[in-house]
Amino acid sequence: MYKIIGGIVGLIALAISGYYFLNQSSVMVTASEPGALVRIDGKLVAKTPMEPVSVAAGTHLLEVTHTHFAPYSEQIQVAAGESVSRDVQLALGEGELSLLSNPRGAWIEIDGELLDAVTPTRLTLRSGPHTITMGQAERRPTIKEVVLMHGQTLPVNLELSMDPHGTLVLKTRPNRTNIAFVGSDLTYSSGMRLPMGDYNVRVSATGYESRVVPVTVRYGDNEQAITLRRAYGQLAVNVKPASARVIVSYGRGSQAVRKVYTEPLRVPVGKVNVQVRAMGRRSASRQIDLSSRGSTLNFNLQVMTAKAGEIFADSFPEGGAAPSLVVVPAGTLRMVDAQATNPSERNVEFTQPFAIGRYEVTVAEYARFAAATGRGMPRKLENPKDVEPVRFVRPADALAYVQWLSSQTGKIYRLPTEAEWEYVARAGTQSTHFFGDDPTEICVYGNVADQTTKKVYRQWDVVACDDGHLRPAAVGSYAANGFGVFDIYGNVSEWVADCGDGSYALAPSDGTIAAKYVACDRRGYRGGSWDSGVAESSSLSRNSSSGASDDRGFRVLRML
């Protein structure tokens, strides 16, 4: 009896357990990030990775969360005996950083990227780990690692410690040098502030040996003197004919050096200009960048075939001609300035002939230039005659005119230097005037302040002769000098290329402009004018000015 009852009870238990097993349900979750929390119906059931969790059949709320990822939630339907699985891909969320520093105004880097903003500022950022760096001039950068949670506002306040600095001034010789920090992207400027410490700077300059110099910056002001040694190269010049004179020049401004070549010549490296000339030969020049390896230059000067006294004029492409020219022979000149506070003199040698304007530039010739360039005629020039010399021209106007002639003809036109003008004026003579020492003869050769002038300007001192004109006469109205040049005295004074305050002692011996006086405010003018006395209208008299006048014009020179 008992055995029968026991069997029945076992069968019932087996049936109940089978029913439970057949109707049991489960849920399993995998997530893209380990450590995610899994909740079912609000109850924490596991952390990923996880084993299946048993649940009753029906509808359940599945939630998956992680510290710095956006939460995931889903209503899931679980049937009796069903196993439900979900693979959840968590997405990064967002949080906000409140960035502060002491002192304020620090620059900010987030994960190595520099922000435009400075502290204090707020920044919305993806959630997760971040590296924050803040810094400021003369403060040490501070770094902090943070983890920003999703939806969190995280304050980050960094203390920036002082980074002691000092100023740096490097005084170099020469003054103009290039200074660079070795192994650093720092850019040197005098008086710059730098963190205390040791640095290496490279100092270099054209013509000098570069140096790498150690520099120590201490707290406060730091000053260090650095001197570079000149770098030299050997210059060799071979010239035909051997009698040629070789001039070597280098340097700029007050440091300019001009010397006669002697073999061999040791010259500072850098730009070097070599000029070679010989009597009756075409001069030559060459500029080189001399290195410490040295250089050898070869010149073969060609014989000049120009015939002294030859008259010609260059043609314009569209018709017409440039001013009439006459060829002046090669020769020598002794220039003496006895009128100066410090009298000076210079022997000058013109080794090659050149062409000079036979006449002063006329109104008609200048008008063609004025119309072509839009420069316009001098405003004070009233009712001029085409054959008169142009007046009221400034030095800049005269320079513009000769540059225009050069562009139109393809030849080199310029203003004559003082030496060239005086050489032309003397025409091989040594007297104050090319015609001799009798001042009354000047009326044969030029329009000056004379007896005609005295009739109008009674208080003036005039020469005791009469040239027949009061104001400027037509060019060529008087006799030419020995070189065939007209109006070298009187009519209008003539601008020259040199500055008006240069001493002859500074002038080169080849008749060119002294390099020191290429650019200036005042220009020299020579020869006297219609309102000048006999002393001013001479081969010796010198004047200078910067402005235009009704008694100043100019004459052109053309290189051959």
CATH code of the domain covering residue 47:
2.60.40.10
The pLDDT score that the predictor gives to residue 337 is: 78
Distance CA 126, CA 249 (A): 69
The pLDDT score that the predictor gives to residue 514 is: 66
Spacing of C-alpha 321 from chain mean position: 40
Q: Is the pLDDT of residue 13 over 80?
A: no
Mean pLDDT over all residues of the chain?
Answer: 90
Q: Is the pLDDT of residue 552 over 90?
A: yes
Of the pLDDT bands very low, low, confident and very high (cuts 50, 70, 90), residue 340 is: low
Q: Are residues 220 and 239 in the same domain?
A: no
Q: Which residues contact 205 (CB under 8 A, 6 or more apart)?
A: 172, 174, 176, 177, 178, 228
Q: Are residues 317 and 215 in the same domain?
A: no
Q: Are residues 434 and 550 in the same domain?
A: yes
Tell me whether residue 270 is in a domain. yes
Which two structure tokens, joined as six digits, stand for 14? 């087996």
Q: Are residues 479 and 548 in the same domain?
A: yes
Q: Last residue of some domain: 159, 184, 216?
A: 159
The pLDDT score that the predictor gives to residue 397 is: 96
Q: Last residue of some domain: 263, 278, 300?
A: 300
Q: Are residues 491 and 442 in the same domain?
A: yes
At 500-544, the pLDDT tens digits run 766 787 778 888 886 554 567 789 999 999 999 999 999 999 999
Mean pLDDT of 424-435: 95
Of the candidate ranges 23-27, 111-115, 260-264, 295-299, the one whose mean pLDDT is the lowest:
23-27
Distance CA 134, CA 142 (A): 5
Q: Last residue of some domain: 159, 184, 210?
A: 159
At 431-458, the pLDDT tens digits run 999 999 899 999 999 999 999 999 999 9
The pLDDT score that the predictor gives to residue 370 is: 96
At 349-377, the pLDDT tens digits run 999 999 999 999 999 999 999 999 999 99
Number of domains composing the chain = 5
Q: Are residues 41 and 108 in the same domain?
A: no
Residue 232 has a CB neighbour count (10 Å cut-off) of 16
Q: Is the pLDDT of residue 239 over 60?
A: yes
Q: Are residues 272 and 188 in the same domain?
A: no
Of the pLDDT bands very low, low, confident and very high (cuts 50, 70, 90), residue 345 is: confident
The pLDDT score that the predictor gives to residue 346 is: 85
Q: Are residues 289 and 324 in the same domain?
A: no
Q: Are 190 and 170 in contact (CB under 8 A)?
A: yes
Q: For residue 146, with 0-12 CB atoms within 10 Å meaning exposed, 13-18 middle and 19 or more buried, which class applies?
A: middle
Of the candidate ranges 1-10, 112-121, 393-402, the one whose mean pLDDT is the lowest:
1-10
Tell me whether residue 19 is in a domain. no
The pLDDT score that the predictor gives to residue 509 is: 85
The pLDDT score that the predictor gives to residue 23 is: 60
At 190-202, the pLDDT tens digits run 999 999 999 999 9
Q: Which structural domain, as residue segments, surrounds residue 281?
A: 232-300
Q: Are 446 and 489 in contact (CB under 8 A)?
A: yes
Q: Is the pLDDT of residue 404 over 90?
A: yes
Tell me whether residue 306 is in a domain. no
Spacing of C-alpha 207 from chain mean position: 19
Q: Which residues of 69-100 are buried (b: 16+ CB within 10 A; e: fewer)?
A: bebbeeeeebeeeeebeeebebeebebebebb
Q: Which residues contact 455 (CB under 8 A, 6 or more apart)?
A: none
Tell me whether residue 181 is in a domain. yes
Q: What percent of the chain has pLDDT over 90?
A: 78
Q: Are 275 and 283 in contact (CB under 8 A)?
A: yes
Q: Are residues 274 and 370 in the same domain?
A: no
Q: Is the pLDDT of residue 141 over 70?
A: yes
Q: For residue 255, with 0-12 CB atoms within 10 Å meaning exposed, 13-18 middle and 19 or more buried, which class applies?
A: exposed
Tell me whether residue 386 is in a domain. yes
Of the pLDDT bands very low, low, confident and very high (cuts 50, 70, 90), residue 20 is: very low
Mean pLDDT of 388-416: 97
Mean pLDDT of 537-553: 93
Q: Is the pLDDT of residue 313 over 90?
A: yes
Q: What percent of the chain has pLDDT over 70?
A: 94
Q: Name which residue leads in pLDDT, 379 or 402.
A: 402
Residue 376 has a CB neighbour count (10 Å cut-off) of 10
Q: Are 205 and 183 in contact (CB under 8 A)?
A: no
Q: Is the pLDDT of residue 132 over 60?
A: yes
Q: Are residues 252 and 374 in the same domain?
A: no
Q: Are residues 129 and 52 in the same domain?
A: no
Q: Which residues contact 137 (CB under 8 A, 6 or more apart)?
A: 193
Q: Are residues 260 and 195 in the same domain?
A: no
CA angle 453/362/548 to nearest 5° reads 65
The CATH number linked to 424 is: 3.90.1580.10
